[in-house]
Structure 1
Amino acid sequence: MYRVFTRDEAMAAGISPAQLRSPRYRSISRGLYCPTSVLPSQAEVVAALMRKLPVAQFACRETAAGRHGAVVPHSSEVHLGTAQRRTSTRPDVALHWYRSPPELTRVRGLTVTSPRQTFLDLAATLPFVDLLVLGDSLVHAEACTVDMFTGLDPGRRPGAARAREVAALVRKGVESPYETRARLLIISCGLPEPEPNHPLRDATGRIVRRIDLGYEHYGIAVEYDGRDHIRREEQWHSDIARREELDDDWKFIVLTSRDIHRKQAQTAERVHKALRARGYKGPFDPLGWRRHFAP
């Protein structure tokens, strides 16, 4: 007996409708149940939905990305794929018709679209930034390697141009969506690309720490800190500013979510100012960030 089961499966196992309405069981979706003591995983719910909807043959899009361990915007629907031209009557399921057989794989017992197929499918709907987050996080989750994105040919499918451009920017070593966003903000302004997960070594060559984004040539580190929700936020940002001024060997630029979402122009200028102070004489487009980040 599955931990998440359909009404028909419950009847076949000898569980009556009256028992399903009792405190021993709870409904987690229309026609799906589990014992009250069970906290079902998404994989169990997806598998149950696929058994309830035989037309659905695999998980795809946001649901597949989640099974691969990647990061995508939250979706209230479970995304399932089918080879038949059918639509879903369930508000919690989006059914996607594939004219041609997609690339499929198995992840912990569940059939899902491959990392490559998932990336190409979502290129049609995800904004540029979120698609790059997906690509970086697929690599970080070891669902694929950067080589998968090298020379990726999306053909003429929807979102092909975006997929091709984003694929060229996917990097290894990016450990969070904010690192992706910070890197994209920087390079969108025409500044040189920092290295993700850059190692800092001591005099013996031993790695003493890794920084989110590093410019080895200029001795500049860009790091994201997620603690900007703490009390006395203004004091926290003041502390960050002092840290940037006091560092000797490496110049640290510490970013928070506010710097990525609300102060993009100032953030780009901070990075440009630090680079220029250490010898950078290349281009800088102070408004380039607007292409991918809402003003």
Structure 2
Amino acid sequence: MMIKPATDDLGVVLRRDLVATGVHDNAIARLVRVGTLVRLRHGVYADARRWAAASKVDRHRMLSRGVMRLYDDDVALSHVSAALAYGAPDHGLPLDEVHLTELSRAGERVQAKVRHHRGSCREDEVVLRDGHKITAPARTALDTAALVERDAAVCVLDWFYQQKLTDPEELRRELRTRSVWSDHLDLTLKLGYARVGSESVGESLARLAFLDAGLPEPVLQHEVRDDRGWLIGRVDFAWPEQRLIVEFDGREKYHSMRRDGESIEEMVLREKTREDRLREATGWTVIRITWADLHHPGRLLARLTRYLAPVA
């Protein structure tokens, strides 16, 4: 029995759509038993092959898609689910539940893998995306940050800045409108850690580690020039007074830095040449760090404090 025509581009299909094509409940149950379909929640199914191959984030998006197709216009995709729909990183985010904000101000509840939030939304705080209502970027960034721990919150806020979906001034304005909300103080503190200029989760977490250790705050995406004023490179973290550069080497960076038709080996050699120029032409010290360094922050910070005195 063919079900592919009834599935959407994510491989999601609703029970009502299957029934409309003549696939009734007994047949649906049989498709689940033989492994053709996976039941995501009441009324929502997915192509089993697509589900098995999907990441945790993609599975959350699939469940979100099915849930939104079940509901009318009185809800908006929000919080973590909206952030992932925009493409935000999933570091530290809970993925087990789809988050909706009730525009009709219905009560808060958790039901069938859906967390319903009660909260008033202004007209400019809700937009249409893929035919469904979703909270606007600024509202989404703050709502998501309110749900999670500081590090995950800052990674999300930094990403929204980096994508130019919002900016610090807009988030401060948005935060002022919810000053009576219970999360206001917590969000104020988290927002104080977010920065324009972090270009990956690794860079956000590294910056937080520097600040937690009491090190001076670095300049982000600093342009280093030689004596003639020619640009040598833009670096992740810089302490100009100490002439110290720290570069975070993560998988995202290597994929984003590759030029069209360039191999990994060619890209690494080009990056090494750039680093040599930074050292030779300017006399700066260059330290490279990786995810392994973030897992052992004590050793990382010991390397940095040779060049940086902690702030009193």
**TM-score class normalised by the smaller sequence:** 0.7 to 0.9
1:80-116: per-residue Cα shift (whole Å, max 9, x none)? 22231152331x3222222x23522233443222222
1:7–1:32 CA contact under 8 A, matched in 2: yes
Q: Structure 1 CA distance, aligned partners of 2:24 and 2:206?
A: 55
Q: Does residue 96 in structure 1 map to residue 117 in structure 2?
A: yes
Counterpart of 2:236 in 1: which secondary structure?
A: strand
**Offset, 1:145:** 2.3
**Offset, 1:138:** 0.9
- 1:219 maps to what in 2? 243
- 2:99 maps to what in 1? 79
Task: State, as a whole percentage, how many aligned pairs show the same letter.
Answer: 25
Q: Structure 1 CA distance, aligned partners of 2:85 and 2:160?
A: 10
- Given residue 95 of structure 1, which amino acid in structure 2 is its aligned partner? H
1:116-138: per-residue Cα shift (whole Å, max 9, x none)? 22233234332222211111011
Cα 1:122–1:157 shift into 2, 3 Å: farther
**Offset, 1:150:** 4.4
Q: Structure 1 CA distance, aligned partners of 2:237 and 2:247?
A: 6
Match of 2:132 among 101, 110, 119: 110
Q: Structure 2 CA distance, aligned partners of 1:110 and 1:10?
A: 21
2:216–2:311 CA contact under 8 A, matched in 1: no
2:154–2:190 CA contact under 8 A, matched in 1: yes
- Given residue 134 of structure 2, which amino acid in structure 1 is its aligned partner? V
- 1:263 maps to what in 2? 297
1:123–1:162 CA contact under 8 A, matched in 2: no
- Given residue 289 of structure 2, which amino acid in structure 1 is its aligned partner? L
Note the residue ranges of structure 1 that are not aligned, 5 or more in a row.
228-242, 277-282, 286-295
- 2:209 maps to what in 1? 185
Q: Structure 2 CA distance, aligned partners of 1:48 and 1:161?
A: 35
**Offset, 1:35:** 4.5
Q: Does residue 26 in structure 1 map to residue 37 in structure 2?
A: yes
2:158–2:195 CA contact under 8 A, matched in 1: yes
Q: Structure 2 CA distance, aligned partners of 1:86 and 1:159?
A: 16
Note the residue ranges of structure 2 that are not aligned, 5 or more in a row.
1-5, 252-274
Aligned residues: 260
Counterpart of 1:88 in 2: which secondary structure?
A: strand
1:196–1:214 CA contact under 8 A, matched in 2: yes
**Offset, 1:24:** 9.1
**Offset, 1:33:** 2.5
- Given residue 89 of structure 2, which amino acid in structure 1 is its aligned partner? V
With normalisation by structure 1, the TM-score equals 0.74
Cα 1:273–1:150 shift into 2, 3 Å: farther
**Offset, 1:157:** 1.8
With normalisation by structure 2, the TM-score equals 0.70
Q: Structure 1 CA distance, aligned partners of 2:212 and 2:7?
A: 49
- 1:126 maps to what in 2? 148
Q: Does residue 166 in structure 1 map to residue 190 in structure 2?
A: yes
Match of 1:70 among 82, 88, 111: 88
- Given residue 284 of structure 1, which amino acid in structure 2 is its aligned partner? V
Please list, as runs of the form range in 1=range in 2, the aligned pairs for 1:117-156 lying within 5 A after superposition.
Answer: 117-150=139-172, 152-153=175-176, 154-156=178-180
- Given residue 88 of structure 2, which amino acid in structure 1 is its aligned partner? A
Q: Does residue 17 in structure 1 map to residue 25 in structure 2?
A: yes
Cα 1:130–1:164 shift into 2, 3 Å: same
Q: Structure 2 CA distance, aligned partners of 1:159 and 1:97?
A: 14
**Offset, 1:194:** 0.9
- Given residue 170 of structure 2, which amino acid in structure 1 is its aligned partner? M
Q: Which moved more, 1:218-227 or 1:171-180?
A: 218-227
**Offset, 1:55:** 8.5
Cα 1:7–1:187 shift into 2, 3 Å: same
